[in-house]
């Protein structure tokens, strides 16, 4: 049976799937648009499953603030090229719309929403693994302020909640959090495992100096205190005015930070480097 170009275009417009896949589906279904549509939908799930093992370490962040919560989600693709694709960005907007209308507390929630079907279709359309990797929702009360920052490339973002102050101050702190990546709010909040690891490193360095134990202890203490001041949000120099700390900045407004979260696309994902021949071979599979 001859498949007309207009039929292929119609199926392409409906699904967003590649032309060759649309034509093959129409051939397999004797030109029946509805049957071809069902076939492509079933195939998209299979293709998404096959690609799900491939590393998706690029992508974008989407952030939304509601009346009582703020949510940040990392939407991953395999390459920056795909992350700029109009279909991928359209999917990211759907994610943003969903979190704007629904308080989502777990990334697993998306699997039981229409977004999962959209994700599988997108995998087939752009030919890359697409994942909703992680999510964080911060809840806040009406007497609190919330600020968000999203870098222009949508790959780095933060949310901050505060008591007192203003949303604008919270936004400034969110910008700072994105830039300086604090590990904790104050020195007392640092995870003991992280602190002990740093102490161990500094102790080894001190022992190599061959100095007396009392001096080595002071050397370690000094380095630990410097480390804590560098990774604790309140003691960091404010990004917009390095002459003051974040604590100075919020104290001037009689404000206090309640919580913060920072995401950077791809952080913590190990990406195996491939040569050109390997990439071509994968695309041909």
Q: Where in the chain are the domains?
A: 5-51, 54-139, 142-182+242-264, 187-241
- Residue 91 — pLDDT band, cuts 50, 70, 90? very high
Angle at 93 between CA 90 and CA 99, to 5 degrees: 150
Average pLDDT, the chain: 87
SS3 60: strand
Q: Which CATH class is domain 54-139?
A: alpha beta
What integer is the mean pLDDT of 192-220?
87
> pTM value?
0.75
- Asked, colleague to colleague, whether 54-139 and 142-182+242-264 share their fold, the answer is yes
Contact 11, 40 (CB under 8 A): yes
Contact 98, 107 (CB under 8 A): no
pLDDT at 166 over 60: yes
pLDDT for 15 equals 65
Q: How far apart are CA 242 and CA 190, in angstroms?
A: 23
Q: How far apart are CA 116 and CA 280, in angstroms?
A: 28
Bridge partner residues of 261 (DSSP):
159
What integer is the mean pLDDT of 226-231?
92
Residues in the chain: 285
Task: For the domain made up of 142-182+242-264, give the CATH fold.
Answer: Tetrahydropterin Synthase; Chain A (3.30.479)
Cα distances from 100 to residues 48, 111, 133, 137, in angstroms, run 26, 17, 18, 11
Is 5-51 CATH 1.10.8.10?
A: yes
- Domain spanning 187-241, CATH architecture: Orthogonal Bundle (1.10)
Q: Is 73 left (phi over 0), alpha (psi -120 to 50) or beta?
A: beta
């Amino acid at each position: 049976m001859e498949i007309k170009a207009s039929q292929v275009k119609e199926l392409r417009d409906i699904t967003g799937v590649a032309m060759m896949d649309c034509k093959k589906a129409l051939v397999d279904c004797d030109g029946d648009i509805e049957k071809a549509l069902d076939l492509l939908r079933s195939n998209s799930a299979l293709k998404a499953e096959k690609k799900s093992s491939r590393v998706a370490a690029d992508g974008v962040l989407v952030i939304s603030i509601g009346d009582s919560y703020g949510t940040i989600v990392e939407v991953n693709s395999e390459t920056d090229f795909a992350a700029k694709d109009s279909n991928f960005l359209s999917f990211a907007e759907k994610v943003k719309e969903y979190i704007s209308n629904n308080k989502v507390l777990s990334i697993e929630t998306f699997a039981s929403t229409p977004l999962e079907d959209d994700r599988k279709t997108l995998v087939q359309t752009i030919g890359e693994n697409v994942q909703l990797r992680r999510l964080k929702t911060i809840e806040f009360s009406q007497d609190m302020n919330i600020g968000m920052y999203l870098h222009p490339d949508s790959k780095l973002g933060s949310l901050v909640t505060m008591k007192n102050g203003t949303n604008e101050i919270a936004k400034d702190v969110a910008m700072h959090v994105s830039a300086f990546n604090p590990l904790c709010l104050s020195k007392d909040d640092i995870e003991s495992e992280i602190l002990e690891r740093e102490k161990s490193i500094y102790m080894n360095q001190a022992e190599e100096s061959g100095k007396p134990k009392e001096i080595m202890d002071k050397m370690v203490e000094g380095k630990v205190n410097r480390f804590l001041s560098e990774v604790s949000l309140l003691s960091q120099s404010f990004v917009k005015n390095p002459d003051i700390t974040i604590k100075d900045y919020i104290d001037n407004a009689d404000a206090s930070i309640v919580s913060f979260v920072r995401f950077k696309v791809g952080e913590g994902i190990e990406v195996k480097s491939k040569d050109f021949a390997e990439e071509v071979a994968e695309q041909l599979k």
